[in-house]
Structures are given as C-alpha cells and as structure tokens.
Structure 1
Amino acid sequence: MAQQHTAMKHKRMLCAQDYKTLSLSAFGGALEFYDFIIFVFFSKVIGSLFFPADMPMWLSQLQTFGIFAAGYLARPFGGIVMAHFGDLLGRKRMFTLSILLMAIPTLLIGCLPTYALVGYFAPVFLLLLRVCQGLAVGGEIPGAWTFVAEHVPKDKVGLACGTLTSGLTLGILLGSVVSILMQSNFNTTEMHAWAWRIPFIVGGIFGFIAMYLRQWLKETPIFLEMQQRGEKEISKKLPIWEVLSNYLPQVTLSILLTWVLSAGIMVIIVTSHVYLQGQFGFSEMDVSISRLLATAGLALGCVLYGYLTDKFSIGQVIMIGCLFVVIATIIFLSSLSAGREMLYITYPIVGFSVGIVGAFPYYMVRAFPAKVRYSGVAFSFNISYAITGALTAFLIPILANFFSKYAAGFYVIAVFLLGAILGWYIIRKEKELAKDI
C-alpha cells in the first residue's frame, strides 16, 4: 500500500489540498519570519533606547546587533528539540507550536521598558526574548521545508520548497513595508517615544493569526505511513544521534549550503542598511525602498530556482545560480558610487540572483530519509546559521566601519564561489538522494 501511495504521489498533479498546504505554510512562515527579522529594521532606535544615551553610536549598534545575533545562537537548541519530537510525534504539531513560541516574545518586546526606566535590565530582558525567538525559528524553517516536501508530488518538491522559502523572504518584504510606513508617518520624536513598539505588537498579533490558520493543515502522508509501519520505533537512538552516526557527509554539505544561504540573506538583504547608509551615504528612505524591491526580487528568484530544481540537475542549478550571484554582486558593488538611480536597478537584480537559496532546501530534504529528515535538516541548518548568521550580523558593522566599505560584498563573492563548488560536488552525489520524496 505504501508503494502504491508513493507511485500515486509521484504521478499526480498539485491538488487543492497541496495548494492549501503551500499557501498556509508560506503565509505562516512569512508572518513568523517577520517577527524574527523586524528587530533589525529598527536596530537604530532600539540601540538608542536600550543602552545608555552617552554610549557611542557604533558601540550601541554593535551591542544591538549582538542581541540580534543571540537569536541565531539559540536556533540549534530549539531546532534539535522540536525536530526530535517532529520526527517522533509528527510534523504538524511542532509546525504549529513553533509559531506560538515566536508570537509571544515578539509581542512582549513591544511592551518592554527601556533603559531610561529600568537601566541595564532593559537589554537583559531584550536579550532573553530574542533567545526565545531564536528557539522558535529554529524549529519553524526546517519544519516548514520538511512539511511541504512530504505533502506534494515528487516532481514538485523543488517548487514547494522554493515557494516556502519565498514565503519566508516575504516576511522580510513585510518588514520593509512596515519600516517604510513607520518612517513616512512618524517623526523621530514619536518613533523613540512610542511608535517603535507598533511593529512588534503587530507582529505578535500576526503570529497568533498564523497559528490559528495552521490548525487547518493535515499531517504529512509520509509521516502517517511511517506510523502505520511502525518506523518511528525502528531505532532506539535519538533521531539526532542517528543523523550524526549515519549521515555525517550529508550534514556537512547541508551546513556549507546554509553558510552560503546566510551570506546572501544576511549581507545582501537584512544588514544592507549598515553599509549602504554608513559607507555609501544613501538615505534611509532610499535604502528602504530599494531593499523592498530587492526582497521582492529575492522572493521571485526563490520560486524560479525551486521550479528549476524539479526540471534539471540540482547540482547544476546550484552551481550556475551561485556564479550568477557572484556576477550580480560585482555589478552591484561597482554601481554604488553612481548614485540612487543605479541602486534602484542593480539592487533588485542582485536580490533576484540570491533567490538561488530557494533551491538549497531541495537538496537538504532529500539528503535525509523520512525517519530522521526533520532532525537532519534542523540540525544542519541551525548549527550553520547559528555560527555564520550570528557572526555575519556581528561582523558586518565592524568590517564596514573599520576595514573596507566593500568588505561585505567581497564576503558574499567568496562564499558564493564556495557555493558553486558545492554545486559541482552535488552533481556527483545526486544518485544518493532519498527516494521517498
């Protein structure tokens, strides 16, 4: 019966339930990622409110980004625990729980007292809530990829993962829109007095809405088949221990791919205002609007590259896509001295090129069999993002301020050249990918 279901899953087209699963997963992921990322869009205001007023701006910004990075460092712990129960008890339960664990701390950040009221307790409370957000998102992203990949037909897994990744990037897009609206409707005094709280309170409400919508999702057919066959009892080992014991090469490759992904997302999209404003002199509004366009390009690119992985070799798609990022980044860097008009052209292009990261989850979900898939993807993705994402968020301000104003771009070029090499290596290993999706 399992073989018959697998054959039907491979041949059928996307059905209404598939579209429902994809749309609700992507929408919920967008809202949850908005909650996680909105912090960085208001880092200047947060830095001035949660640290002493006489602290140098660069130091308060560095400490603010340190708190932001703490969310990444917490990811592995949340990812490992939630993936463990996701592999044993079901994908849907953890997929729904993660969004609740994100909504609560986001809402509380919007209610926090500032340094002027409680002194150093303010940044401590902020740090604790960021850690809670990191724990939640550590289970959300790998769980979302696993969830949609196990729902759709085999020849639509790339499109599903790319669409889901696009949905996550739409969280950044939503953050950009909110940032622009806040800048347009509130002056500096209002922003520092109370308006900065609005994006976090709204984000918390978004999270509760997304949690409510996810109750309409169904458990994945692959996990239900595992339950029927008793496969969750096949080994007494913890899923993560089995991953490290039997799938270390896949873990290593997934970790390196996540490093490439984090470089594209963090440097090109999330922290771009640090060097575009500080080193190249663009206005806050110009950066916000052009980043909005770049994020839209990123979302489109994720869907396109996900679609291509279903049609062509995943290794070839990754290799060519990463080389495109290198070329687009060089053009982007070269145009930054040409003024705002070129920024509005080259920034969306490089954002679109970074959409190659939408193809990476296709490899990750197929690198591990169903019984340890959630744990394998969560461990690899979160360990890598905890290190590379946190360090990137922490180091970009330092590199941009004290070394070269092009340092962030050089970093992206180097890491995506590594990505092209990984794509070449994957071409040789594609026969080893899991066949159950």
Structure 2
Amino acid sequence: MTQHVPPAKMGRLAVAAVFSTTLEWFDFLIYATAAALVFGHQFFPSASPMAGTLASFATFAVGFVARPLGGIIAGHVGDRLGRKPPLVAAMILMGVATFAIGILPGYATIGAWAPILLVVIRMVQGLGVGAQWGGAALLLTEHAPVERRGFYGSLVQTGAILGAVAGNLFFVVLNTFLSDAQFTSWGWRIPFLSGFILVLIGGYIQLKVEDTPVFRELQRKSADSRRDAGVRKAPLLEAVRLHWRQILQATGAFFVVNAVFYILISGMLSYAVSHVGMSRNAILWCAMIAGLTQVVTMPFFGGLTDRLGSRRKLYLTGTVLMGLFAFPLFWLVDTGSVPLVFLGLLIAFTIHATMYGPQAALYAEMFPADVRYSGASLGYQFASVFAGGLAPFIMTALLAATHSSWSIALYIVGTAVITFVAVVTIKERFRRNLYETSEAEAARPAAVSD
C-alpha cells in the first residue's frame, strides 16, 4: 500500500500536476467569464441582453455535454495504457481549442457561422477537460504516501480555483486598462490566445513525468497473466458492469460542489452586475480574492481528512452547511455592499473547499486499480453536465422567471440534497490499498470487505 516515493519527487509531481491543471482550467473557465461579460454581444447580437446571456451560457454548457465523452475515452486509455497519455493529449487538445476561440471572428464578420463554430470549439474544450481531471488526480493520489493521500489529492483541486482566479485577474486587468469598446471588440480575445502554453506543458509532462507505480504494477501483472491481471480489454465496460453503484454515487456526490462552483465564478458575475447593480470590476475582485483562499483551504481540508480517518464525514458536513448557507449567501450579495458580498462569497468558497478538497482522494478510494480512471472520470464528468454546465444557465433562467434570488438559493438546496443522499450511501474506504484490482476485491470474504 505504500509507494515509497521520495519527497523531492512528490514535490515535482505536485508542481507538474497543479500547473497543468491550472492552465487547463484557466483555458476552460475564461470561457465562463467571457460568456457572462461579452459573448452575448459578440456572437448573439440580435437577441435581447437577457436572451443573449442565456444563449452564451447555453454554449458554455455545451462544453460540459462533451466532458463525459472525454472522460470515457480517457478512462479507457488511462486504465489500459497508463494515466499519463490521456493527460498529455487532453492538454494539447485544450490548448489548440482555446487558441482557436481567441482568433474566431464574431457574428458581425461571418454571421451565423460564428456561434456555430463557437459551439464546435467549445465541445472540443469539453473533450479536453473531461479527459484531464482523472489523469491529474490519479497522477498524485497513486504516487502519494498513503498517510498523505488526501492532502496530495487536494492539490489537483487547487488547479481549478487557480485557473479561475487567473482568468478573473486577466479580465480585471483588461477592464482596467482598456475602454469598454476596446474590451468588447478585441480585448477579450487576449486570454484565449494563451492556449498554446498548454501544448508546451503537455510536452514537458510527456518527457519528464513517470506513470504511477500503481499502473506500472498493473502492467507487470498483465504480463504475468491477463486473465487475473489488472489491465482488462475493456476497462470502461468493466467499470460500468461491476461498479455502477459507485459511479452513480460519485456523480451525485459532485452535484452541489460543481453547481455552486460555477454559480460563484460565473453566474454570480452576471447576477451582481445586471440584477444587483455592482460594477463589473467590483464583483470580479470579490470573486477572485474569495476564491483564491481555496488555495489554502482545500489542502487544509484534504489534509484534515488524513488525520480524521474519513473523507466522507467532512464531505457530508460541507454538504449540509452549503444547503444551510444558500439563502444567506444571496441575502449578503443582494445588499450590493462590497464587504458583505465578499463575506458571502468567502464563506461559500470555504464551505465548498470542505468537499472539493478531499474529493480526489475519496474518488480514488472508491474504485479498484484496473477501472479507477474510468470509474472516477465517469462519475466526475457526468455530474459536470447536469450540475456545473447547466448551473449558470439555470440561474439566469430562474432569475428571469422569478425576478428574485430565492429561486436560485432553492436550486442550491436541491443540489445539496442530491449530494447528501449520494455521499451518505458511499462506503468508507479510507486509506484503501490502491493496488487492489477488481478480482482481488471480489475475492475478499464478506467479513473483511469495505
């Protein structure tokens, strides 16, 4: 169960995983900010402001629809050929797609082809990010010392928030130094043109980073006996056939986590500007600084589960707290007061970290080695479609229908209920032997099973 990876090597792996994840999510999430601020005008100019925002958020959701397919492909490849190849491919795919958005002409130039091509490129982005998370999460959790698995797994999660903060910071700088006309016409493109950096990082990981010791052990077993071995001909089918309950549990466990994250980093931007009347820069700074605290809180809570002896209990606590805080969050934001808005976002991001921090370790321990990439990716990415991808769209639609934030708060409570039911049914597999295969798990006597 102990990998015996030297601390210096773990440090290098952590830096590579966090940096690659940060850039991946920066590329994916700057779309969310652009959708809230400028895409309605650029690609759907004939619509009303509210309809244009809904349309841009709909294209934002398209990327999430493609994420399960990216997870399926990467899961199969990752369980059969290694954790590293799909991770590298995902970064290259995302980098190329993001750069393409940066040079895509708007509706005024190429008419209806602009939103069509935007949707296609967004789907490619979805494939890339759908493939990436499982590889980065397993790269760290399968290398990490068993007693620090929660901490190292949480570092992967910080990449998402670092990417979101970097994206918001980029837009804050652009808003500061460019006029509204400059930002709307060409300034928004600058963050997307940085996509090519991901291609370079993918090349570095391909050359410098080893695959995980868990997968190398699976390869050794496969060479000895493919019938008993860890690597199957169709790991995706095996994951669905043998571990469909865990996949459904992982899907439900991510609901409130993913929905609230996109409400905080994207939907809240549009809401605070159009409904509350805050300035664009004020809400960007509030979301950016409050979100940045997760760089500390997520490793803290991930490491806390290593000491508590349970990922599940802390996750459940965070789920309940998020449901309870849904209404107070909007009461604070609706004041329009920058300090109170910041306080609301800070509390929400902190509660969010109690779940998102330990999630990578929780998911890694839910699945045996031979189907871990497939199972964890399927659960994570299916939830991203119905929770995160639709959250800003649902938030905007609820606001249009009710003209009040209570409906959005109630939506958060609903996702919290789904997550609570899913997590409470998960068996505690704290510090599970990550080398264990499906056959070994099935062979264990019921008296000693999880």
TM range, normalised to the smaller chain? over 0.9
User: How does the TM-score come out when normalised to structure 2?
Assistant: 0.89
Aligned partner letter, 1:273: L
Asked if structure 1 preserves the Cα contact closer than 8 Å seen for 2:327 and 2:406, the reply is no
1:219-274 CA distance string (max 9 Å, x none): 10111111111179347551111111111111111010121221221112232112
Partner of 1:198: 190
Aligned partner letter, 1:309: T
Q: What is the alpha-carbon distance in structure 1 between the residues aligned to residue 410 and residue 97 of structure 2? A: 35
Q: What is the alpha-carbon distance in structure 2 between the residues aligned to residue 433 and residue 259 of structure 1? A: 24
Asked if structure 1 preserves the Cα contact closer than 8 Å seen for 2:139 and 2:212, the reply is yes
Larger mean CA deviation between 235-244 and 175-184 belongs to 235-244
Q: How does 1:366-385 map to 2 (within 5 A)?
A: 366-385=365-384
Partner of 1:242: 238
User: What secondary structure, in the 3-state scheme, does the structure 1 residue paired with 2:210 have?
Assistant: coil
Residues 1:335 and 2:326 are matched in the alignment? no
Asked if structure 2 preserves the Cα contact closer than 8 Å seen for 1:173 and 1:292, the reply is yes
The CA deviation at 1:399 is 0.8
The CA deviation at 1:14 is 5.8
Residues 1:111 and 2:110 are matched in the alignment? no
1:138-185 CA distance string (max 9 Å, x none): 110122111211111111111111111012211001011101001101
User: How does the TM-score come out when normalised to structure 1?
Assistant: 0.92
Partner of 1:320: 317
Aligned partner letter, 1:405: S
Asked if structure 2 preserves the Cα contact closer than 8 Å seen for 1:72 and 1:386, the reply is yes
In structure 2, the CA distance between the partners of 1:387 and 1:31, relative to structure 1 (3 Å rule), is same
Larger mean CA deviation between 244-253 and 325-334 belongs to 325-334
Residues 1:387 and 2:386 are matched in the alignment? yes
In structure 2, the CA distance between the partners of 1:270 and 1:160, relative to structure 1 (3 Å rule), is farther
Partner of 2:259: 263
The CA deviation at 1:206 is 2.8
Partner of 2:434: 436
Aligned partner letter, 2:80: L
Aligned partner letter, 1:92: K
Unpaired stretches in structure 1, ≥5 consecutive residues: 1-5
Question: Would you say how many aligned residue pairs link Structure 1 and Structure 2?
Answer: 425
Aligned partner letter, 1:210: I
Give 1:252's match in structure 2, choosing from 238, 248, 251: 248
In structure 2, the CA distance between the partners of 1:331 and 1:388, relative to structure 1 (3 Å rule), is closer
Partner of 1:398: 397
In structure 2, the CA distance between the partners of 1:14 and 1:241, relative to structure 1 (3 Å rule), is same
In structure 2, the CA distance between the partners of 1:432 and 1:251, relative to structure 1 (3 Å rule), is farther
Partner of 2:297: 301
Give 1:349's match in structure 2, choosing from 347, 355, 364: 347
Aligned partner letter, 2:406: Y
Q: What is the alpha-carbon distance in structure 2 between the residues aligned to residue 14 and residue 332 of structure 1? A: 43
Partner of 1:37: 29
Give 1:227's match in structure 2, choosing from 199, 207, 219: 219
Partner of 2:199: 208
Q: What is the alpha-carbon distance in structure 2 between the residues aligned to residue 266 and residue 419 of structure 1? A: 16
Larger mean CA deviation between 127-136 and 204-213 belongs to 204-213
Aligned partner letter, 1:349: I
The CA deviation at 1:417 is 4.2
Residues 1:279 and 2:279 are matched in the alignment? no
Aligned identity (percent) is: 25
